[in-house]
Structure 1
Amino acid sequence: MFCVRTTCIAATLGMAAAVAQPAVHFTVATDGKDPNPGTAAAPFATLEQARDAIRALKTAGSLPEGGAEVTVRGGTYERKTGFALTTEDSGTETAPIVYRATPGEEVRLVGGRMLAADAFRPVSDPTVLGTMSPEANGNVVVADLGALGVPASPPCPDKFRGPVPVPEVFVNDQRMSLARWPKEGWATVAKIIDTGSCPRKGDNTGEPGIIEYSGDRPKRWSVERGVWLLGYWCFDWYEEVLQVGAIDTKTRQMTFKKPHHYSVRQGNPSPRRYCALNLLEELDQPGEYYVDVKANLLYLWPPSKLEGARISISLLKDPVLSLTEASHVTVRGFTIEATQGNGIVVNGGFSDSIEACDVRNIRKGGVIISGGTGHRVEACDIHETGTGGLRLTGGNRKTLTPAGHQAINNHIWQFSRHQLTYANGIMLSGVGNRAAHNLIHDAPHQGVGVSGNDHLFEYNVVHHICTETDDCGAFYKGRNPSCRGNIVRYNFWHNIGSPMGHGNAAVYFDDGDGGETVLGNVFFRCGNPGKGSFGTVFSHGGHDILAENNIFVECKRALGSAPWNDKRWKSYINAKLWQERLLKDIDITQPPFTTHYPRLVGFMEPKKGEKRVSTAVRNLIVMGADVKSGNWQVDEKENLITAKDPGFIDPANGDFRLRPDSKVFTKLPGFKPVPLEKMGLVASDLRPNPVRESWPYAPPKPLPPLAKRKKATMRARKRKAPVFKVAKVTTPVTIDGTIEAKEWFGAAPAKAMPLAMDYGGSPARRTSKAWLAHDGNVLYIAIDNTISPSTKFDGNTWGTDDAVEVSLRPVKKGAKGLPIHVLRGFGNGYLRYGTTPDGDDDPGAMEPATIIFKATRPAKDRWVAEFAIPFAMVDFNPAKDTRFAFSLAVRKVVDNLWLMWEGTRGHSYDVDRAGFIELEK
């Protein structure tokens, strides 16, 4: 439900046709006994006994018309095992089976143990007291989990994603925090000493990364006891926990036990960041706990007095409640909580319903629907979950047969407490599933994930998503262009994204995704272009996306894209990943794909110069800083772009509906009113009192235009364009930031490309040297830079931080309009790659993919950069082509110097004003 001013806008959901009243009733209560008949006067004690009673009825004959209902009275039911229903527990369409909490009573199914306050005692172990901070002494208590019958936790792995494998602790239904440092936010890596190997790129040598830290906090930590760091070690869309193998307090360096998946490097612009988890030394404030895995002891600094408090720990690893190949079963009104596994899992079957449940304090996912058809999750609250909220998976992608699962009227928030990225509030997978009227909010990364075909995401409200991550979207889908036909319509998105540098979006179609529709949405303060081409609705590489009848308010860029050139499309289509996804998993060259999606005809045979665009029609763009980037076709006659209020009802209070007399309806014929009043939670029998969200945000205001580079002032070239010959090598060069004489022609100055002039062509004082080589497939470049000893490598902004820039454009006979490829490698190890059509436009940001870069600082007055640039990445065919238009520049901030091989007298990446490199055979 969305509230405008103080008036709640709500609608009533259509309910399924009523069935006959249950013919059979059983009751379960905390004071019941399983030998009882299960009546209201003599209830059962367990759900299993009620289930078995229904099984007995079915064995004796068929269920009577109306089916059976099990009513569970209020109370706490500790589950040592999950409650499991199977195919023999199925109902029928006219005789369904219902398990329900007694209306008005709280029925808690707990996947753990309730602990008494006297299970804890003061800490007396002198070693522990000496390890904890002084402020913790006298405040921390300890419980012997082994003595309480709690099995020991397994040893923590060297590296992992997701929750730490120890029990969670809850006091008065609030999750306690594992003792960590820093308490809030992140510590930043001072310097990357060694990236370590990169398993993601097939480097399985197992070399761990090494980082340098600031301050002296790690002096307190015991590597022998165990130190684990959760961090964004490369990209701001992928976190991982790594165990520390060694701490050198003299050099302030930490060496990990295992390599990070992507290696430890500067993959996104913001500083690399981390926090330490489950450290006894950091147990120093109320609400924190530490688990000594070896001794099976739980140390807790209680948030308040434990006497009279509800204390629980999670133990159950199976789902609290599961339905496997069961059909026509309804689960209604339960509180599912405190488990180490998932909350509710439905596998297979058809026409099951999960209704009005409160699924909370779950270590993994909230509600998981996998397979089957026609399942429904409605009016549930799903929150404080560890690895996701609600997942709907089903349908047959080979035949494009829909599953018809629905997620309706659910409130989902704080759903990625342990896995910070790719743990969606709602995930739609397979074919033909729907999410509608949900309220989704508060997550560091994405809120909605989609994989598959013909899904519908409509009438939802999504806000405060992607608050701590980069290169991400609140709604994300990508990497498989056979997955299409999805519709994102009539949703309200607001306060999406964070300005971390690379960029983020409200709706993000990634890695060649296309064939999607974005219709009738309202976007308010969504997305951040960063240094690249991001927009509120963003496409990376893809095309055939339709944006229609949307309202964008105070969005920095409404529509963004980073399109791929012919070469990149061809390389993706021919690569193993897409060959498997597009021809083996399914076959997009055959029906039903070619008939259902006519645009896929010929997809696997891309034509050179083929027009690949996305289209925007009848959109209202209000008070934005920029309209579009990339391959979006935005005709200003078919879209209204204005810096003024176009006639909103009450924009200061979030009511972006248009008044009937708004000029939009005359200036954009065919523009339809966007039904904001229907978006979000709505009143229904299962949710009679939807949440009323306040609107504490500042009114919209016009944004200044995004900064654009001024065109460079061209000066006449003073000499003929130089040509540098690039020798061929027979063995690949190792990119490690070290200029080895055996690799680089003896590192002889005579064989180097000199960088000795500024951008205007005048001699420079502090110079650099570069060596270039190729092996027929890859261009290798090494640059040795002299710098001021006071130079700091603490940023990655071109112009304000030291970096090397490589710019190149293939020279092809008869070819025009080829892009300039621009690589910027910074002293801190960060690599930025992009293309620009000419020397005037700023390069857009793209994924560096197979380009390799390494930076080292062997001395205070010197740093080294090495690049390996596959020819395939820059649309170069060495069998036919021999030349690049080429520019090489080094930014030296302390000297305020733009050092170049050939002064361009303008933008450093303007290769047409620099020189050429020519490959030797």
Structure 2
Amino acid sequence: MRVMLFTFLCLLLNNISLAKDIYVSRNGNDTYQGTKEKPFATLKRAQIAVRSIKGAVVVYIRGGTYYLTAPIIFTDKDSREEGAAVSYTAYPGEKVVISGGVPLKLKWENYLNGIKRARVNQNIEFDQLFAGGSQQRMARYPNYNPKIRFFGGYAEDVMSPEKIKQWKNPEGGFIHALHKHEWGGYQYKILGKDDKGGLKLEGGFQNNRQMGMHDKYRFAENIFEELDTVGEWYYNKSDRLLYYYPLNNTDLNNTLIEVPQLKSIFEFRGSASNPVKNISIEGLELKHTLRTFMETKEPLLRSDWTIYRGGAVIMEGAEHCEIKNCLLNTVGGNAVFMSNYNRYNKVSGCQIAYAGASGVCFVGDPKAVRSPVFEYNQFISFNQLDTARGPKTNNYPADCRVENTLMYGLGQVEKQIAGVEISMAMDITVSHNTIYDVPRAGINVSEGTWGGHNIEYNDVFNTVLESGDHGAFNSWGRDRYWHPDYAVMSDIVKRNPELITADVVKTITLHDNRFRCDHGWDIDLDDGSGNYHIYNNVCLNGGLKLREGFYRTVENNIIINNSFHPHVWFNNSGDIFRNNIVTRGYFPIRITDWGKQVDFNLFPDHEALAEAQKAGTDLHSVAGDPEFVNPVNGDYRVEKSSPALQLGFKNFRMDEFGVTSPALKAIAHRVNIPALTEVKERGQQIYEFLGAKIKDLNTLGERSATGMAEETGVLILEVPQSSILYGKILPNDVILKLNELPVRNRKDLLKIQMGLQYKSEANIDLFRNQSMKKIIIPLIN
């Protein structure tokens, strides 16, 4: 008996000593003990084993691909105490892939014109297809061409009766389109044809600024008749037949075919009162998740976004959890999504490549917001506002981080996305990330709730590639006090200035970043973004824009080949722009009050400086050569003799932008450093029309300020009381038609006016406050 007891105790102690390292292998068995010699076969079995172990645990996953039939869900049962964390990690030196897909064994046969066909026996979902590890494209019109900016190819006639007539049964196909103003995009599922031969569509909810799809930038996919080029595929669901057009001489019978089936791979599911704690995922490749664009429906307050609360990794109700050194590879939707209550979680050292939507999202609960509204034009009157400061609950992400992470090729499907998206969150740190090749912003802050974010040392470029009127860094500030009508909002903040920071209770800091945007602004603070401190940033191309908003201090920044774009400021905004180096004159639009201070800046020439001083700013600013140390290689520190230093500018480091780990730095693309140009800005030509001052709308700034979809039409600058248009047309209106004839520029306007010399009045179609208006104007006094 004593011998048996002694043997049992030895076995028990031996198991405990081995238990802190658990092993999983494709060659394992879930009836084994989970040791290195006898590993488990599945992550689920390892998860169950970890629950009964005290102390810190490492789950080593041996090399290979693990196909999940369901996501791994961590609940409060998996929560770990401080000092007793669990890490699910790849075994050193071995590649581990966790797949949300299934591999298919198919018997292929010839079909037509190089297309192959195979019967699928499993009842599975066909949303994407990977052949030999590479993602293939659904049959689409027009065919994909990476050289084309929007969608890799678009066709204006994609919904024409002539084109639809060519499709025998388009049910199950999709229409993808840009927003009419290029503010993100829309997706629609084709339900079939209607009685008139058009398409019956479901969708269009993927954007929170409902203006309809773009007339030109759109394409169709998952249409059998469009299967006509190498790399395309189509699945006939009713016949369970898969059609694929491979490269010549491809041995499909020996090519691995994988099809995603899951929306997520890892889920952390806790709550504020009972969070999941101290779990990390490390060194794994996560891939093969479903596209989720038809579930992108939830509006993010009054931003332009709707969102799907999900991703390859979902965290909700988690604390001190981390995704570390992982590759999130071509996932169908968002890569990592922190939803509602999250604290002290981190994404670090990761690579996020070619995601269908965003990289890392931090999104709180709208019920935590005081007086929330959910569309640009919605507004709650002041007497109904909850005027208390800050959030109502703690159900939002706070004190979380994304750092040292490389993100590129995002937004493969959805276009209203970002590398990092922040909404209804507080104290989020975005540090040392490299983000490029994205259709919209690299980093986006959807509204002021609740501020405190620290955005630092990021390298963000090749942004706004498939959209418009946006920035490499973009923010909106459509908080509870904000109103889309300038006059109404001006009155609100004049009477209730405490509301300005009632939502953005903590200052948002943007420092030591490098931004480049070739289709918008490098830094774009739009629609009331307030309570920002912006310093030590390098803007390489698009300049820096501040629209509406309050309490923004912009200092010690360097703006290359561009300048400062102040748009539509309010009286007593409290804005400060000082100690900056600009290389063009300012580009103000509708500025009557220049805030708290605009001074001590370095201008490129005396003409630009004189223009600013004429407007009442920059009394102590100077013009001259900044004397950059090595601008050809992107070193914009200034020499000791630079006049910028005399104004208060201080040098900051130019070698700390972006990812820090050697492995990520080795594969990251590098930003294109621009050549410094010395082109002086030509004065804008201002003309007269019926006593009003006008000009051609021909700049990105004017397009943004007016909300126009493109740079066309005639912009109204001023309507004095002496003009017969006074009281009918307002500054910032855009004339697009006169007497039903299109007005593209001033020449069109005056030519049409000359043809109306015997008429007493005419119709004008103009664009005002994001909508079209038709008015009647007199042509004679």
TM-score normalised by L of structure 1: 0.61
Equivalence for 2:635: 655
Task: Tell me, yes or no, if structure 1 residue 356 matches structure 2 residue 356.
Answer: no
Q: Which amino acid aligns with 2:60?
A: T
Q: Which amino acid aligns with 1:143?
A: A
Task: Tell me, yes or no, if structure 1 residue 142 matches structure 2 residue 117.
Answer: yes
Within 2, Cα distance between the matches of 1:902 and 1:544?
A: 48
Q: Is the 8 A contact 1:617 1:634 kept in 2?
A: no
Post-superposition CA distance 1:321-366 (Å, at most 9, x none): 5454321112110000001162111221311111000011211110
Residue in structure 2 matching 1:640, options 602, 612, 618:
602
Post-superposition CA distance 1:678-711 (Å, at most 9, x none): 1111137xx5755353455552212441551245
Equivalence for 1:365: 334
> What SS is found at the alignment partner of 2:315?
strand
Q: Which amino acid aligns with 1:98?
A: S
Equivalence for 1:708: 684
Number of residue equivalences: 627
Residue in structure 1 matching 2:42, options 41, 46, 50:
46
Q: Which amino acid aligns with 2:85?
A: P
Change (3 A) 1:467 1:379: same
Within 2, Cα distance between the matches of 1:625 and 1:142?
A: 62
Task: Tell me, yes or no, if structure 1 residue 309 matches structure 2 residue 259.
Answer: no
Residue in structure 2 matching 1:466, options 453, 464, 467:
464
Within 2, Cα distance between the matches of 1:437 and 1:80?
A: 35
* CA-CA distance at 1:539 after TM superposition: 3.0
Task: Tell me, yes or no, if structure 1 residue 92 matches structure 2 residue 81.
Answer: yes
Equivalence for 1:681: 659
* CA-CA distance at 1:272 after TM superposition: 3.5
Equivalence for 2:234: 290
Equivalence for 1:486: 508
Post-superposition CA distance 1:373-428 (Å, at most 9, x none): 11111001011111211113469752797821111100011221111113544436
Change (3 A) 1:256 1:709: farther
Q: Which amino acid aligns with 1:391?
A: C
Q: Is the 8 A contact 1:657 1:676 kept in 2?
A: yes
Equivalence for 1:575: none
Within 1, Cα distance between the matches of 2:711 and 2:536?
A: 38
Task: Tell me, yes or no, if structure 1 residue 406 matches structure 2 residue 427.
Answer: no
Q: Is the 8 A contact 2:456 2:513 kept in 1?
A: yes
Within 2, Cα distance between the matches of 1:454 and 1:411?
A: 23
Within 1, Cα distance between the matches of 2:678 and 2:546?
A: 25
Task: Tell me, yes or no, if structure 1 residue 538 matches structure 2 residue 521.
Answer: no
> What SS is found at the alignment partner of 1:891?
helix
Task: Tell me, yes or no, if structure 1 residue 559 matches structure 2 residue 561.
Answer: no
Equivalence for 2:265: 319
Residue in structure 1 matching 2:180, options 230, 234, 256:
234
Within 2, Cα distance between the matches of 1:445 and 1:343?
A: 21
How is 1:196-595 mapped onto 2 (pairs within 5 angstroms)? 217-222=163-168, 225=171, 228-232=174-178, 234-242=180-188, 243=190, 257=201, 272-303=216-247, 304-322=250-268, 324=270, 325-340=275-290, 342-370=311-339, 371-393=341-363, 397-398=390-391, 403-427=398-422, 429-450=424-445, 451=447, 452=449, 453-478=451-476, 479-480=478-479, 482-483=503-504, 485-494=507-516, 496-498=517-519, 504-526=520-542, 536-555=543-562, 557-563=563-569
Task: Tell me, yes or no, if structure 1 residue 75 matches structure 2 residue 53.
Answer: no
How is 1:865-880 mapped onto 2 (pairs within 5 angstroms)? none
Q: Is the 8 A contact 1:82 1:320 kept in 2?
A: yes
> What SS is found at the alignment partner of 2:342?
coil
Within 1, Cα distance between the matches of 2:205 and 2:89?
A: 45
Equivalence for 1:126: none
Q: Is the 8 A contact 1:889 1:898 kept in 2?
A: no
> What SS is found at the alignment partner of 1:281?
helix
Q: Is the 8 A contact 1:554 1:625 kept in 2?
A: no
Equivalence for 1:691: 667
Task: Tell me, yes or no, if structure 1 residue 168 matches structure 2 residue 101.
Answer: no
Q: Which amino acid aligns with 1:150?
A: N
Within 2, Cα distance between the matches of 1:255 and 1:707?
A: 49
Within 1, Cα distance between the matches of 2:211 and 2:233?
A: 33
Within 2, Cα distance between the matches of 1:393 and 1:224?
A: 36
Q: Which amino acid aligns with 2:225?
A: E
Post-superposition CA distance 1:774-809 (Å, at most 9, x none): xxxxxxxxxxxxxxxxxxxx997336xxxx999977
Larger RCO (alpha carbons 8 Å, 6+ apart): 1
* CA-CA distance at 1:902 after TM superposition: 7.3
Change (3 A) 1:244 1:704: farther
Post-superposition CA distance 1:301-329 (Å, at most 9, x none): 12454354342110113434545432111
Q: Which amino acid aligns with 1:672?
A: K
Q: Is the 8 A contact 1:654 1:695 kept in 2?
A: no
Within 2, Cα distance between the matches of 1:646 and 1:662?
A: 5
> What SS is found at the alignment partner of 2:176?
strand
> What SS is found at the alignment partner of 1:298?
strand
Q: Which stretch of structure 1 is more off in the superposition, 312-321 or 674-683? A: 312-321
Q: Is the 8 A contact 1:493 1:523 kept in 2?
A: yes
> What SS is found at the alignment partner of 1:420?
coil
Q: Is the 8 A contact 2:473 2:515 kept in 1?
A: no
Q: Which runs of 5+ in 2 are unaligned?
A: 1-16, 146-151, 293-310, 369-389, 480-499, 606-623, 695-708, 768-776
Within 2, Cα distance between the matches of 1:806 and 1:212?
A: 39
* CA-CA distance at 1:167 after TM superposition: 1.8
Within 2, Cα distance between the matches of 1:900 and 1:26?
A: 91
Q: Which amino acid aligns with 1:392?
A: F
Post-superposition CA distance 1:93-134 (Å, at most 9, x none): 222111110122110000011224x443333xxxxxxxxxxx
Name the Cα RMSD after superposition.
Answer: 4.3
Equivalence for 1:772: none
Change (3 A) 1:295 1:648: farther
Within 2, Cα distance between the matches of 1:379 and 1:283?
A: 39
> What SS is found at the alignment partner of 1:432?
coil
Within 1, Cα distance between the matches of 2:57 and 2:203?
A: 55
Within 1, Cα distance between the matches of 2:405 and 2:580?
A: 29
Structure number, greater radius of gyration: 1
Within 1, Cα distance between the matches of 2:756 and 2:633?
A: 49
* CA-CA distance at 1:648 after TM superposition: 2.1
Residue in structure 1 matching 2:573, options 598, 612, 628:
612
Within 1, Cα distance between the matches of 2:780 and 2:574?
A: 33
Within 2, Cα distance between the matches of 1:35 and 1:795?
A: 64
